[in-house]
Amino acid sequence: MKKRIKRYTGFFTALLLAVLLGTTGQTVQAAEIEPIYIEAKVLPSDAPTFDVQVTVRNLGTDWEGIVRLKTETGLGYGSYTDCAYDTALSLPEGSTKQFTVRLPKDSIDRTDGYVRVTLLDRKMNSVTEKMFPKLLQNDKDALSMGVLSDAYASLTYLDMGGNELYYGDRTRPIKLVQLQQGSFVPSLNGLAFLVIDSFNTQALTDEERTAIESWVDKGGMLIVGTGSQAEKTLDGLSFLEIEYSEADDTQVNDFGWDDFVDTSKLTMVEFSDPKDTLGGYYQYLQCGAPWGDGSVSLLPCALTDLGALGADAYLNEGTQESLVERILNNAVDMAKAPNQSGTLQYNTDYNLERIFTILGRGSNRLQFGGLKLLVIVYVIFVGPVLYLILRALKKRDLYWIAVPIASLAGIFLIYWAGRGFEVASTSVYSVSMEDLSDKENVTTYLRCYDAGHTEWSLSLADGYTYAGPMMGSRYYYSDEQEGSYYQRIQKEGERFAVGIRPKKGFEDAYFTAGKAAQPHTGTLSWDGDKTVTNETQWDFPYFAVITDDSLLIYRNLAAGERFSLADSTCEYMETVTRLRTNSNGYSYSSNSYTPAEAYYYGYLREMMWDDDDKETRKDIDIKAALGMGISYACVRAQSDDVIIVGVAPDWDKAAEGDCSEVSYGCLYAIVEE
């Protein structure tokens, strides 16, 4: 019995020791895998980039690999910009390294998502990663919303939880400012929005009412909540001259609120405009209208009541944030001020991109006429001609062997004739923009394609300091899991490379890149007598002048030449506007086309479809490059400036290595009138 007990005791002792040893081994192993710490912050900069400073600290063994940065909106629809910014990094044991990743602002239109920083080993396996919510948001870009209310704490949801609103040329966060009666007037000038809700406006002084009305007239956006607080909130805003009454069951959904929220939980009112103060202009979700350069929006319910609703009150998968965003978007759309430059920026960027797609369709495009003729001759020969020849020679019995021989010969000839159409390297079209007034550094746009179906990359020339996807191409989403990418920007040392993982051969990729370069000497000057002087070293086969409400295109401006517009033949002329209609069709100008739109629709597209006129099509590539220069320069000028843009071929190459590049340069000058 004692022997049996000893045997069991020995067994359990051995088992316990094995467990302890195993546990101790796991602890040691875990202790040997020390963490790699990642930190990121945005550096202040006036450059056209977000400069993200990344700090990586290694508390473990030597590590070498890639630090990948990606911006992700996290909005659920198209969550990823699908561009990876990769930096090669060697991190010895116990070391800390710091570097900056420059993200072009033109490649990112939302900053309310998060930045993901991932460390990848040499086999591209993830080692660790860290998320940085709203890293790119900046208070300087925020839209200030003043809130005048006795229940301010109930309205803090109006910042949409940090989500951004499209305003002007990009999305921006909302910054709430609590206002107090008696002291808010000096704060009005710094506000984009003013919300008045659950506040006794009859207590406002005449000076305060006048200040509010003047602020709206100069471009401010006034939003007034009513509903259960209508009498308290509206009666003191006498300049609106709006009447109201409690809405009945047939009126409660006049503004479409039933599409978004359970209105049975809200007190709703109906508006009337007996003096036509709002000009009969009503907006979805709100009674509103343009007012001077700004807008006025009256909501049929109180915003404090709306804020008290739970998530279950919102319909059709809507949320409190999405409803607020719609209301604010309507206010922005009705106002003139935010659309004067913003919508022009959007339309100009869109036109710049689609003009870019035309490059390569001109005289240097592939011509298949000779190859087509060879195929036709081959088909005719193998068919009736070969048969007739053999019949004349009385050798028709050899037809069965003559056809395969002729086929092999034909295949060889077609292959030999088609060798010139092989794309052995990546093809690149680049257009560089340069402000002759030295206000900006050089910006280059690249359109690239490769015959292959696998991932490719292209090295940029020396001197570029940042690169990223160009505009709309940034929204090309991959079909793979989170963390994957479509575009890829690689940096090793001071050199950049750009590339994509294509879905098919010859797939276009669009990139933007910038460098700090000394501007070319000279300028394009403008005299009051409508004379352009080219004081640069470049000859311009085509150049554009935008003055007053006219877009003018001319040929041949030689270096050092003084060119009189009045004494020269205009290649193309169109009346244009520097402003644009908003998304609801409210027009701020009687002219329908911006310079970029007029150039694309009235000049470039007509030539693009004119296949019969080879002389007209001959210079379509350089004309497309000029159109990009027009688009780029217009956004950077005021509505009354004179813009001069010249285009030159054979510009500085943007890419290096195994590629074939066609390059153009656009030099422009903006002259204040």
Query: What's the pLDDT at 374?
Result: 64
Give the mean pLDDT of 282-291: 77
Reported as a pLDDT band with limits 50, 70 and 90, residue 477 is: very low
For the chain, what percent of residues have pLDDT higher than 70?
76
Query: What's the pLDDT at 17?
Result: 37
Query: What's the pLDDT at 212?
Result: 95
The label of the residue with tokens 């746009």 reads: 445
Residues β-bridged to residue 644: 545, 669
Token reading at 441: 């550094």
Beta pairing class for 63-72 and 83-91: antiparallel
Task: Name the phi and psi angles at 8, rounded to 5.
Answer: -65, -40
Q: Out of 201-210, 495-504, 579-588, which region has the weakest mean confidence (pLDDT)?
A: 579-588
Query: What's the pLDDT at 622?
Result: 93
What separation in angstroms does the CA of 157 have from each of 114, 162, 447, 461, 583? 20, 9, 43, 48, 26
Residue 14: CB partners within 8 Å, gap ≥ 6?
none
Nearest-CA neighbor of 36 among 51, 54, 24, 23?
54
Give the mean pLDDT of 18-31: 34
**Residue spans per domain, the chain:** 1-32, 36-133, 139-335, 369-421, 519-671
Range of 27-31, 148-152, 376-380 with top mean pLDDT: 148-152
Range of 269-273, 488-492, 618-622 with top mean pLDDT: 488-492
Q: Out of 268-277, 394-403, 496-505, 621-630, which region has the weakest mean confidence (pLDDT)?
A: 394-403
| pLDDT(345) > 70 | no
Reported as a pLDDT band with limits 50, 70 and 90, residue 202 is: very high
Give the C-alpha separation, 389 to 377, whole Å: 15
| pLDDT(587) > 50 | no
Reported as a pLDDT band with limits 50, 70 and 90, residue 612 is: low
| pLDDT(14) > 80 | no
Query: What's the pLDDT at 201?
Result: 93
Beta pairing class for 269-272 and 243-246: antiparallel
What pTM was estimated for this model as a whole? 0.77
Reported as a pLDDT band with limits 50, 70 and 90, residue 397 is: confident
For the chain, what percent of residues have pLDDT higher than 90?
39
| pLDDT(96) > 80 | yes
Query: What's the pLDDT at 418?
Result: 54
Give the C-alpha separation, 347 to 352, whole Å: 9
Reported as a pLDDT band with limits 50, 70 and 90, residue 648 is: very high
Encode 57-108 in three state secondary structure.
Answer: EECCCCEEEEEEEEEECCCCCCCECCEEEEEEEEECCCCEEEEEEEEEHHHC
CB 221 within 8 Å of CB 174: no
Nearest-CA neighbor of 197 among 176, 227, 177?
227
The three-point CA angle 231-236-242 to 5° equals 70
Reported as a pLDDT band with limits 50, 70 and 90, residue 1 is: very low
Query: What's the pLDDT at 3?
Result: 44
Give the C-alpha separation, 267 to 278, whole Å: 23
Amino acid in the structure at residue 426? T
| pLDDT(553) > 90 | yes
Encode 626-661 in three state secondary structure.
Answer: HHHHHHHHHHCCCCCCEEEEEEEECCCCCEECCEEE
Token reading at 126: 């993830």
Q: Does domain 139-335 have CATH number 1.10.10?
A: no
- Supply the DSSP string of 226-266, one letter for each residue: -GGGHHHHHTT-GGG--EEEE--TTTTTTTSGGGTB-GGGS
Query: What's the pLDDT at 651?
Result: 93
Give the C-alpha separation, 110 to 254, whole Å: 33
Range of 18-32, 131-145, 357-371 with top mean pLDDT: 131-145
Higher model confidence: residue 23 or residue 283? 283
| Sequence-separated contacts (24+) of 491-495 with Cβ below 8 Å | 491/85, 491/86, 491/87, 491/88, 491/101, 492/87, 492/88, 493/88, 494/462, 495/459, 495/460, 495/462
The CATH architecture of the domain made up of 36-133 is Sandwich (2.60)
3-state secondary structure of 558: coil
Amino acid in the structure at residue 28? V
Its sign, for the CA torsion 460, 43, 139, 47, is negative
Query: What's the pLDDT at 33?
Result: 40
Nearest-CA neighbor of 576 among 554, 543, 598?
598
Give the C-alpha separation, 108 to 136, whole Å: 10
Q: Out of 85-89, 180-184, 271-275, 423-427, which region has the weakest mean confidence (pLDDT)?
A: 423-427
Higher model confidence: residue 4 or residue 192? 192
Higher model confidence: residue 380 or residue 340? 380
Give the C-alpha separation, 549 to 518, whole Å: 32
Query: What's the pLDDT at 24?
Result: 33
Q: Out of 241-255, 261-275, 512-526, 604-618, which region has the weakest mean confidence (pLDDT)?
A: 604-618
Give the C-alpha separation, 338 to 336, whole Å: 6
Query: What's the pLDDT at 638?
Result: 80
Instruction: Count the Cβ atoms, other than its own, within 10 Å of residue 373.
Output: 11
Nearest-CA neighbor of 511 among 599, 432, 575, 448?
448
Range of 137-151, 372-386, 512-526 with top mean pLDDT: 137-151
Indicate the average pLDDT of the chain. Answer: 80
Give the mean pLDDT of 445-462: 89
Digit-coded pLDDT (tens) for 652-661: 999 998 888 9
| pLDDT(16) > 50 | no
Rg (CA), the chain: 33
Query: What's the pLDDT at 149?
Result: 95
The label of the residue with tokens 């403008």 reads: 526
Reported as a pLDDT band with limits 50, 70 and 90, residue 166 is: confident
Query: What's the pLDDT at 259?
Result: 81
Give the mean pLDDT of 430-450: 86
Reported as type and span, the H/E element at residue 567 is none
